[in-house]
Structure 1
Amino acid sequence: MVVLSWSSSLIIKSDCPTKCGEIPISFPFGIGAGCYLDDRYAVNCRSGKPFLASLNLELLNISLEANTILVNHPVFNTCVGAASMESANLENSPFFFSHTRNILSGRGCYFLAYINHNEIYAGCYSSCSLEGDPTAVCLGINCCQSRIPLSLQLFKASVETTTDDDDIVKQCKLVFVVQEEWIVRKKWNPGNSKAVPVVLDWGIHNSSFHPLNITTSTSHCNDFANSTSTNATFANKSFSTSTTASNSLVHQCSCKGGFQGNPYLLQGCQDIDECKNKSICTPKMSCRNVIGSYECYPRLINTTLVILGVATGLPSLLLVLLGACRLHILIKRRKNIKLKEKYFKCLLMQQHLTSYDGCGDRGKLFKSKELDKATNHFNVDRILGRGGQGTVYKGMLADGKIIAVKKPKAIDERKLEEFINEVAILSQINHRNVVKLLGCCLETEVPLLVYEFIPNGTLYQYLHAQNEEFPLTWERRLQIAVEVAEALSYLHSAASLPIYHRDVKSANILLDDKYRAKVADFGTSRSIAIDQTHVTTKVQGTFGYLDPEYFRSSQFTDKSDVYSFGVVLLELLTGQKPIFSIGLEEGIGLVTHFMVSMQEDNLFDILDPQVKQLGKKEEIVTIADLAKSCLNMNGKKRPMMKEVAMVLEGIQASQKDNGNVQQDYEEVEHERTEITEGWDVISTSTEGPITIGVMSGASTSDKVVEDACTS
């Protein structure tokens, strides 16, 4: 018996089976009592096939180097009869569906495939072609693909058909999470497989982990929450709709460079003899193996050279030391250059903001000490909300002015571009219904943005959090719709350069002290040339608000913002979230539900009680028809935002004049369309939806926002 001190009672046998069939089994996994770390890593060998006992999934491979396992996971097939399928439950286990090695995939025509758990969604849309299936890549024709959320341990797979063609509705449709490498090799067609390979990331739970017992000079273990590895390291996160917390931390171990073996065993990492590779040193050099590495040194030709070497040893040593010092200085200098390059965009941004000196509050550069004091050292009591990009704090400056400070989560390249982009965009905008950027702070490691303080939260909260103290009356809903439409119309048509918002949703509409609407969050917005008709980007947006035409083509136009605004109109009319439930059905799309109700002449059955009770019928019908035109599947047939604003202003004017509803809408009437809805990835919190960008279909390069220092 070999005793390893993982815990006071764990004894690992020395004669444990190392294979089941052709699959190698390595500790902490094991077959039989005394061969595995705990029950979560127990493997049953049945008919020459290994099964992970805790999950009852067939085990296809264990990788200690990547800290992954490959398992067979069931496929959801609509022809089986169930409305949806739940995945294997990995909760309270050290296993996670790998978001870097797996993708969500679907097979079939005209359907929306999605997975969700605790209102965290990932989805993709498939159109149809009579020319057959794609043969190399999935382009959204007869198939679809999407990235899955981080730290996923449980999900429900569902399908929603986006056409009323009976023949297509009856066709079998498949939804599955699958190893990306495998499905690409299969040319996006799993055939008749009832299960497909899925990669699970794994580690060791805190309850079982004793670093002193396994961490030696030959191995190291990373905390999932703190590691910066790109190989999918996680904290075990709860899927709460309010906060994302870390609990039950797990750890990953690996052998250090120059060693190989099993890092989860004492002395499991053994030195690699690099000198076995004859070409590792040049022909004139000899190789000497050292623990964890190797050395190349000149071959001694004769005794004279040895004597000469001893005689000149001291000067040579001094030369070596001088060379080492010079090399150290050069390396340090190069690192400093790289660091300056990393923050070069920030420095450019500082120059950009400084150019606005003397223009009032616009573009002010704040000191880090000033913001730290204003937010009481970024106290948790000052938090206004948390989002996908960071946390927003309430602060008060020395002069008594109230501000909102956005503190991004991390300083990576994408976040830095979004930071610069938001400053550049908001520096061009001066509109009463767009949140005002007061300036930023570049002294901190993570740049901070400072906005005017908007006290009354988001439209999402007032529509979906049942605020009885201030119910949204029909007049207030119409006023908000008018103000948002005017802001978007300004961005599209009146700004110095047209601006596409690219994330219009009720959670990005703030309400000030007089409950006037303020459009916010311009991190993914884009300025375009006047003669440009679209921007080509990787698909990014919020589930339920995303323009399906943009998803299929990766081309975002001004009409894509119009589609998202149409969904906001539906929220104002119905009081429903973009994705909601009816009875036993989960994940029903608001757009689809609205279109069906319009076709069946049941509009008033789905209205919010406040709207039904206080709104005039002709006004409600006009706005519903306007929303329908905004949601047209053909973007060219949607109205422009200035036309939408004109219709809404006409309705509002008719209220003030106590007259009839103006018929401006007839000028922008668009024909009825197919039932459909937009989609992407979203997680929700008490502050409203938080967007997670994903790539889907044919991805294209995202445009890097240029400096907006023009005036």
Structure 2
Amino acid sequence: MCLTTDGSFNLVHTFQDKKLLLLLVVASTVILKHITVTDGAGHMISIAKPGCPDKCGSVSIPYPFGIGDGCFLNQDFRVNCTNNVAVLPSTITTTANDDDAGKDDGIHLLGIDVARGEARVQGPVASFCNYTDSNATTTDVLLQLGLPFAVSETKNKFTGIGCLTVAFISGQNKHDYSSACGSFCADEESIDGSKECSGMGCCQTTIPRNLNNFYFSFEDFVVNPVRNFSPCSYGFIVEEESFEFDPSYAISSNFKEQHGDGVPLVLDWVVGNETCAQAKKNQSSYACRDKNSICVDTPTGMGYLCNCSQGYGGNPYLDGSSQVVSLPREMQEHHRKLHVFMPTRNSEQGSQERTLHSQQQNIHSLLGLILCISALLFKCQKRQLAKEKEKFFKQNGGHILYQQILSKQIDTVMIFTVEDLKKATDNFDKSREIGIGGHGTVYKGILENKRVVAVKRSKIMNVVETEEFVQEIIILSQINHRNVVRLLGCCLEVEVPILVYEYIPNGTLFELIHENHGGPPVSLEDRLRIAQESAQALEYLHLSINHTIVHGDVKSLNILLDENYMAKVTDFGASRMLPKDAVQLMTMVQGTLGYLDPEYLQEQKLTEKSDVYSFGVVLLELITGKTAIYYEGNKEGKNLAMSFLQALENNRVQSMLDTSIICVGTEELFKEVVELASRCLSFKGEERPSMTQVADKLKAIRSTWSEMQSLKHEETQHLPDERSSTDSDCDLSSSIYLATRMLGVDMAPSHADHYHTIEIMLDDRSRVSGLDSMDAEINGKLWL
């Protein structure tokens, strides 16, 4: 008998297998009977430090936690018990409509698991309610846990509830970590009664490891067509197994009534932030006090925990707490007979020898039985695995694709086995990961022919017609453009098909612009080139092979750079490989916040003009150096597109441009790029240009710029040993602009060329012209 993946059973119809099945049942009964353990002394094992309370209300408080002085390991484990309510030290700050609403110096404790190193608490809930255009209330939440606590990445999910909800979660300073999820529903009827967080009224996403300080907030939509039936949105981290979504939460006040005080949240904790090897070197602070305790390094890397050694129970943090956990009396007798043998020749000896011999025979028989059962199970598992592969291959259209390849002589698609890809990626080893996103994980793979490829293992897939999926694969594999990443093939014998792409070595445009730590800034020429190449790629997708392909996820993370830093667009067609009832939702969840077409919120449909809007945001990233959602100081995240349009309306666009390119380009050049970006970001799709028009415009801008650079080069040929006055003025202008920003003076870069009217007093260590020492002390004043 074989256990299938869905929990049902397949009978193996052979006489031998049925005999082994009977033996398996009998052996399982015997083994289960003998592995039941109890506390041999029958005593309750003390969990709190002697003389200290072990409960607060109904919550048990085991050491290293404790109530009162001297009852806990250190202040991090102090539990305050007031009115039978246990509270852990932490800081919860709520912000209502940008004003501090209050602080709570603790989080309610619901339970503690010493063995697992977990604490169950009542987590906070953020909310956003938009009743009218002028009546919106926002309650954002900042939770500061601090070491030794962190939110469990395996037990919790970040969850958003509402019908027009984009809930953000970020690190305390908003730069360390940022993620979000979105949920939508056009009307009350669109919530079908499902209790799954599938994107209709409820969304969920994972959280990173070792998160202990985080901030909840929401996207404030100017247009809110659902407020009449779903005015409120909620965001929170919740224990996944204890939370069940009720559709009424999205369209009524039921959620607030049931969970207004908070939701269950599981925290990981450690007793020390070092490894076991490091902790044992300092016995005075080493927390595993009992002689029968062992030290365990936590898988999260936060530090270490203590557990009892095998065969013992108790509290490993208390000296002398452990007790032997005994086997049943029958097993103790078996154990004694097997190990006690008196070397005397008498009847008692003979009896003991016969008993020993009998027990040894039983053990040998049991071992043989276990080996036979293991062999049978392995055979069943192997057979079941082969059936699953065949089922998935057929389900994903493998046979149809194979026939298409044979009949049409298509040589652009390769079909890989899962063994091929496991071998290529070292069994999908973590060290081979080169990208993790909303769709899934990308691995670097090396095929048998030594070709390097990118292997994309997706999380979810659209339940589409098989022929439609096969046609999609064929179309995508036939794409052949120098600025588009090629799809080489796929593996169809797994539940979610694995796609294989050409490998692009130099990372993403996002990394080049925003994570270029210590490297020289990207030149204006390279920015214009990358913009033009990316636009040409999208133009090709929109017009290629008589089949429009909407990218659906245009962003700087999906523009890769090859060995020559040529742009190559990837993840095209992504929206067609997502669940049909959550296509638009998941477009947001996978990380496109800040790139999202506002018209999509009304039409619920991705079009070529949606790609144009997202490309407009990428263009802004190139000329401003800012991310699509960016932060200034400790303020909330700002939407780059919205900030740009507001600056354009107020004639302040120049203040947003990247200072490293301001003085290199001309006013006319920036004016043209800004005008193109603003057209791409038009609220109505019909007012946006096509990608062909965008690509042509960028080509013309770049051509004009190249001609100007050539003329400038010819003019400066007669000055081989000194820089031109234009370059010098440019450097000084940029330096003065940066200096004024450091002093808090908001001066538009376009005015910085009047540097002769500005006097800056610096100490002797600074040089205005180069501003090489950015950390120079600015002692004096600035006069305009």
TM-superposition CA deviations, 1:562-612 (whole Å, max 9, x none): 332221111122222212233553422211211211222322332234654
Partner SS for 1:435: coil
Alignment of 1:150 with 2:183, yes or no, is: no
Q: Which residue, out of 233, 255, 263, partners 1:197?
A: 263
Give the distance between the partners of 1:523 and 1:214, measured in 2 at CA.
58
One-letter identity of the residue aligned with 2:67: I
In structure 2, the residue matched to 1:116 is: 170
In structure 2, the residue matched to 1:561 is: 611
Alignment of 1:91 with 2:137, yes or no, is: no
Q: Which residue, out of 48, 60, 63, partners 2:84?
A: 48
- Equivalence map 1:113-512=2 (5 Å): 113-117=167-171, 118-123=175-180, 146-147=204-205, 149-151=207-209, 152-159=211-218, 161-163=220-222, 176-179=235-238, 184=245, 187=249, 189=253, 191=256, 195-205=261-271, 225=299, 235=300, 246-248=301-303, 266=322, 328-341=374-387, 363=414, 387-388=436-437, 404-406=452-454, 414=460, 427-436=477-486, 449=500, 451-454=502-505, 456-465=506-515, 472-495=522-545, 497-512=547-562
Contact 1:386 1:392 in 2 (8 A): yes
Shift of residue 524, structure 1, vs aligned partner: 4.1
Contact 2:297 2:305 in 1 (8 A): yes
Give the distance between the partners of 2:563 and 2:683, measured in 1 at CA.
37
Shift of residue 628, structure 1, vs aligned partner: 3.2
Give the distance between the partners of 2:83 and 2:238, measured in 1 at CA.
25
Partner SS for 1:585: coil
- Report the CA distance shift for 1:52/1:213 in structure 2 as closer, same or farther (over 3 A): farther
Partner SS for 1:155: strand
Deviates more, 1:86-95 or 1:187-196: 187-196
Contact 1:204 1:252 in 2 (8 A): no
Deviates more, 1:22-31 or 1:183-192: 183-192
Give the distance between the partners of 1:127 and 1:379, measured in 2 at CA.
34
One-letter identity of the residue aligned with 1:340: A
Give the distance between the partners of 1:143 and 1:374, measured in 2 at CA.
38
Alignment of 1:21 with 2:57, yes or no, is: yes
- Aligned pair count reads 562
Contact 1:179 1:197 in 2 (8 A): yes
Contact 1:102 1:199 in 2 (8 A): no
- Equivalence map 1:63-82=2 (5 Å): 64=113, 68-74=118-124
Partner SS for 1:582: coil
Alignment of 1:605 with 2:655, yes or no, is: yes
Contact 2:109 2:121 in 1 (8 A): yes
- Report the CA distance shift for 1:527/1:325 in structure 2 as closer, same or farther (over 3 A): closer
Shift of residue 434, structure 1, vs aligned partner: 1.3
Give the distance between the partners of 1:367 and 1:144, measured in 2 at CA.
34
Give the distance between the partners of 2:155 and 2:367, measured in 1 at CA.
44
Give the distance between the partners of 2:51 and 2:519, measured in 1 at CA.
70
Contact 1:103 1:177 in 2 (8 A): yes
Contact 1:75 1:174 in 2 (8 A): no
TM-superposition CA deviations, 1:424-466 (whole Å, max 9, x none): 77523211111345679999xx989573554x54323443356
Max radius of gyration: which structure?
2
Contact 1:366 1:439 in 2 (8 A): no
Partner SS for 1:62: strand
Give the distance between the partners of 2:429 and 2:235, measured in 1 at CA.
42
Contact 1:255 1:263 in 2 (8 A): no
- Report the CA distance shift for 1:538/1:650 in structure 2 as closer, same or farther (over 3 A): same
Partner SS for 2:216: strand
- Report the CA distance shift for 1:263/1:494 in structure 2 as closer, same or farther (over 3 A): farther
- Report the CA distance shift for 1:326/1:467 in structure 2 as closer, same or farther (over 3 A): closer
Deviates more, 1:476-485 or 1:247-256: 247-256
Give the distance between the partners of 2:164 and 2:386, measured in 1 at CA.
49
Partner SS for 1:594: helix
Give the distance between the partners of 2:196 and 2:553, measured in 1 at CA.
26
Contact 1:435 1:520 in 2 (8 A): yes
Shift of residue 656, structure 1, vs aligned partner: 7.7
**What's the TM-score once normalised by structure 1's chain length?**
0.59
Shift of residue 485, structure 1, vs aligned partner: 1.7
Structure 1, unaligned stretches of length 5 or more? 1-9, 226-234, 236-245, 274-287, 292-316, 659-711
- Report the CA distance shift for 1:106/1:391 in structure 2 as closer, same or farther (over 3 A): closer
Partner SS for 2:637: strand
**What's the TM-score once normalised by structure 2's chain length?**
0.54
One-letter identity of the residue aligned with 1:115: I
Partner SS for 1:510: strand
TM-superposition CA deviations, 1:296-315 (whole Å, max 9, x none): xxxxxxxxxxxxxxxxxxxx
Give the distance between the partners of 1:127 and 1:438, measured in 2 at CA.
35
Q: Which residue, out of 532, 541, 565, partners 2:590?
A: 541
Greater relative contact order (CA < 8 Å, ≥ 6 in sequence): 1
One-letter identity of the residue aligned with 1:103: F
Shift of residue 57, structure 1, vs aligned partner: 2.5
Shift of residue 25, structure 1, vs aligned partner: 3.6
Give the distance between the partners of 1:372 and 1:334, measured in 2 at CA.
24
TM-superposition CA deviations, 1:441-498 (whole Å, max 9, x none): 999xx989573554x5432344335689875444443332222122122223314654
The structure that is helix-richer by fraction is 2
Q: Percent identity?
A: 29
- Report the CA distance shift for 1:610/1:267 in structure 2 as closer, same or farther (over 3 A): same
One-letter identity of the residue aligned with 2:238: Q
Contact 2:445 2:453 in 1 (8 A): yes
In structure 1, the residue matched to 2:681 is: 631
Contact 2:527 2:622 in 1 (8 A): yes
Contact 2:513 2:522 in 1 (8 A): yes
Give the distance between the partners of 1:469 and 1:546, measured in 2 at CA.
30
Alignment of 1:593 with 2:643, yes or no, is: yes
